[in-house]
Structures are given as structure tokens and as C-alpha cells.
Amino acid sequence: MRRTLAENGVFLLRISVSILMLSHGIPKALEYETLVQSFPDPLNVGNEVSAMLILFAEVGCSILLLLGLFGRFASATLFIAMMVAAFVHHFGDPFATRELPMLYAAVYACLTFTGPGSTSIDAWFKRLVFEKEEPASAVPQQAEPGAPR
């Protein structure tokens, strides 16, 4: 019962935070041309590269996390993006401005530790590949001579 509740909690957290982050990323993607002109460059790699990196995280990794595909990679990437937003881009801003990216970062840290849960493509693939049942043998195996019975 406890395991089921925990798995449902991870599922709900993964789905809800993915949808919420998509609500930040999709408007940026739709306004890409104007976004690039004024996007901040906190990592000193250029405005366009910075914009592409945050779009990869907010849209691409959110979709991956929503599906439960490469869940730990996606949540770790989003964690890093939110930490950069909170502590590099908004470094001099008041705490209230940094609070939301820090909250997202905390959720992504939890999902990085727990993984995407049992209702994910990652879990399905793991069951498919690594937990194959051995086929039942029609011939009973003979004990080796001298082996204890």
C-alpha cells in the first residue's frame, strides 16, 4: 500500500511539474525570434545559445519528463537550469524573484533522486529488457555427481 502511494505521488509530481514548466517554455518557443534579441546570457555563451539551452530544458526535457523517458537526465537538466536561473540570472534580485526557480529546482532534485517512477517509459523499458523471465525447460536438469541434494 505504501509503495503504491509513493509511486502515485512520484507520478503526480512528475506530470504536474512537467505541465507547469511547459507553460513557461512554450510561450518562449513561440516567440523565439523576439526572445533571442533580448534573452539574458548568464553563462556568457551568447544570447541565442542561452535561449536554445533554456528552451531545450523547459520544453524538451519537460516533454521527456512528462513521458517518463530519460527521467533522471531530464530532471537533472531542469534542476541545473533552475539553479542557474535562481543563483546566476537572478543573483541580485530579491528572494521573492528567486523563490519560484528554487521551488522548481527542489522538485527536480527529488525527481532526480527517485527517478520517474513505475508508470514511465523508463520503467517499462527496464522491465522489458532487464527482467525477462527464463523460459521453462522441458527437460529436468540432472544434479551433478557428488552434489548435495
Helix (H) or strand (E) holding 140: none
Q: Is 115 helix (H, G, I), strand (E, B) or coil?
A: coil
Question: Could you state, in order of their start, the residue ranges of all structural domains in the chain?
Answer: 2-124
pLDDT of residue 133: 66
Q: Are 112 and 83 in contact (CB under 8 A)?
A: no
Rounded Cα distance between 147 and 72, Å, is 46
**pLDDT given at position 81:** 95
Q: Give residue 146's pLDDT.
A: 67
Please answer whether residues 53 and 76 qualify as being in contact, where contact means their C-beta atoms are separated by less than 8 angstroms.
Answer: no
| One pLDDT digit (tens) per residue for the chain, 149 residues | 888 898 888 899 999 999 999 999 999 999 999 989 888 888 889 889 999 999 999 999 999 999 999 999 999 999 999 999 999 988 889 999 999 999 999 999 999 999 888 888 888 888 888 877 666 665 666 667 666 65
pLDDT of the residue at 147? 63
How confident is the model at residue 136, as a pLDDT?
60
CB-facing half-sphere around the CA of 64: CA atoms within 13 A: 21
Rounded CA separation 14/16 (Å) = 6
Rounded to whole angstroms, the Cα distance separating 84 from 45 reads: 13
The CA–CA distances, whole Å, from 97 to 24, 65, 73, 86, 92 equal 15, 25, 26, 8, 10
User: What's this model's pTM, rounded to 2 decimal places?
Assistant: 0.80
Chain centroid to CA 84: how far?
A: 16
